């Protein structure tokens, strides 16, 4: 009896390990951290347009979550041979052999189909069209354009601007309203220094894989100054949010202005850091936290808005 019980325990433990590995592979394949940020930006767009926090938000948020997960997984399928050549990406699920390319493709298509169906039945045609455009732009245009042009991230950043717009139109807003254009502009600008801070850290990796890299065109000092300008542009784009009346709460607007000033001040340290790798990594973390704080403040608008209650 004791031997059988031990055998059963071993089987259960092994099954749990397999399940844990499966979730970890899925987590890596879908780039969950990026998916979470994009999903939050969609939720932000919806709340600001609908002017309420209701159960209706679940449909566009869940649809975008599925869609972005599928798009990210499809991107890894498209680039797994290149990923295998770079230190930063060689341990991703497909190049490391954790999952077969065909299985990754199947998972990505399943996520994409599920996301489209959720948005089709739960939102409206404009939200669906924007989502379809984002997938085509990312997996059809950007994924291949970055193999031939080092500046591909600039048009590629359009993808990040679409997610809050999907939430906005799903919340009954118009895609041409200045408020959502300002929010979309912020996410568009933010993505450029976000990516280039990675690039300056892993530039040699891109060169090794045969990809065009700005590190071949500019010196580290020049590239640092370019990134500094884009970070300042991100701070300025944040100031447009109070200027265009996206939020009505005075405390939230003051916090947004203070946050923008902090980012601009913090970016100056990048110029004084003698261009070491640690400062680039630290600034990369800061600018990601910055985007989360902006999203949090836009959510907080509902807490300060008496109409919410």
How much is the pLDDT for 276? Answer: 66
How much is the pLDDT for 41? Answer: 93
> Confidence band (pLDDT; 50, 70, 90) for 1?
low
CA distance 74 to 91: 17
Note the pLDDT tens digit of each residue in 113-150: 999 999 999 999 999 999 999 999 999 999 999 889 88
Asked whether residue 226 carries a pLDDT value surpassing 50, the answer given is yes
Note the pLDDT tens digit of each residue in 237-285: 999 999 988 888 888 999 999 999 999 998 888 877 666 667 788 888 8
For 89-105, what is the mean pLDDT? 93
How much is the pLDDT for 189? Answer: 95
- The number of CA neighbours under 13 Å toward the Cβ of 136 is 7
Note the pLDDT tens digit of each residue in 189-214: 999 998 888 877 777 778 777 788 88
Q: Rounded to the nearest 10 degrees, how much is the dihedral formed by the CA atoms of 194, 146, 77, 161?
A: 50
Residue 1, helix vs strand vs coil? coil
Least confident of 15-24, 86-95, 240-249, 280-289: 15-24
Q: Rounded to the nearest 10 degrees, how much is the dihedral formed by the CA atoms of 193, 211, 279, 75?
A: 60
Domain definitions of the chain by residue range: 177-309
Asked whether residue 233 carries a pLDDT value surpassing 90, the answer given is yes
Q: Token pair for residue 197?
A: 């801070």
How much is the pLDDT for 214? Answer: 82
CA distance 60 to 164: 10
Q: Token pair for residue 158?
A: 């359009």
For 42-70, what is the mean pLDDT? 90
Residue 92, helix vs strand vs coil? coil
Residue 137 DSSP label: I
Note the pLDDT tens digit of each residue in 166-194: 999 999 889 899 999 999 999 999 999 98
How much is the pLDDT for 192? Answer: 93
How much is the pLDDT for 5? Answer: 55
How much is the pLDDT for 302? Answer: 66
How much is the pLDDT for 201? Answer: 76
CA distance 75 to 64: 16
More confident residue, 299 or 296: 296
Asked whether residue 16 carries a pLDDT value surpassing 60, the answer given is no
How much is the pLDDT for 173? Answer: 86
How much is the pLDDT for 303? Answer: 57
CA distance 170 to 178: 16
How much is the pLDDT for 11? Answer: 43
Note the pLDDT tens digit of each residue in 101-112: 999 999 999 999
CA distance 164 to 50: 13
| CA distances (Å), origin 32, targets 26, 45, 72, 198, 215 | 8, 20, 9, 18, 28
> Confidence band (pLDDT; 50, 70, 90) for 70?
very high
How much is the pLDDT for 18? Answer: 42
Asked whether residue 3 carries a pLDDT value surpassing 60, the answer given is no
Determine contact, residues 270/227, Cβ cutoff 8 Å.
Answer: yes
CA distance 35 to 208: 28
Asked whether residue 51 carries a pLDDT value surpassing 70, the answer given is yes
How much is the pLDDT for 219? Answer: 82
Asked whether residue 12 carries a pLDDT value surpassing 50, the answer given is no
CA distance 41 to 222: 32
């Amino acid at each position: 009896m004791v031997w059988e019980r031990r055998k059963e325990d071993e089987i259960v433990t092994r099954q749990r390990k397999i399940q844990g590995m499966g979730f970890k592979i899925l987590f890596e394949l879908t780039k969950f951290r990026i998916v979470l940020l994009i999903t939050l930006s969609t939720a932000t767009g919806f709340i600001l347009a609908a002017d309420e926090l209701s159960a209706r938000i679940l449909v566009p948020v869940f649809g975008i979550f599925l869609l972005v997960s599928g798009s990210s997984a499809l991107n890894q399928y498209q680039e797994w041979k290149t990923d295998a050549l770079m230190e930063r990406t060689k341990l991703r699920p497909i190049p490391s052999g954790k999952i077969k390319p065909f299985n990754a493709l199947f998972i990505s298509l399943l996520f994409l189909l599920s996301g489209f169906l959720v948005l089709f039945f739960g939102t409206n045609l404009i939200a669906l069209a924007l989502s379809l455009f984002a997938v085509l732009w990312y997996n059809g245009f950007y994924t291949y354009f970055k193999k031939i042009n080092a500046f591909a991230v600039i048009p590629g950043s359009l993808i990040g601007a679409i997610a809050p717009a999907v939430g906005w139109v799903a919340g009954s807003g118009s895609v041409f309203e200045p408020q959502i254009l300002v929010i979309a502009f912020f996410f568009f600008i933010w993505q450029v220094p976000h990516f280039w801070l990675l690039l300056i850290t892993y530039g040699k990796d891109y060169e090794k894989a045969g990809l065009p890299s700005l590190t071949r065109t500019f010196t580290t000092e020049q590239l640092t100054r370019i990134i500094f300008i884009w970070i300042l542009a991100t701070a300025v784009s944040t100031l447009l949010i109070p200027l265009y009346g996206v939020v009505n709460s005075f405390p939230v607007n003051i916090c947004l202005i203070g946050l923008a000033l902090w980012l601009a001040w913090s970016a100056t340290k990048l110029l004084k850091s003698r261009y070491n790798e640690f400062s680039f990594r630290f600034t990369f973390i800061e600018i990601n936290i910055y985007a989360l704080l902006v999203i949090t403040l836009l959510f907080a608008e509902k807490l300060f808005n008496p109409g919410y209650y």
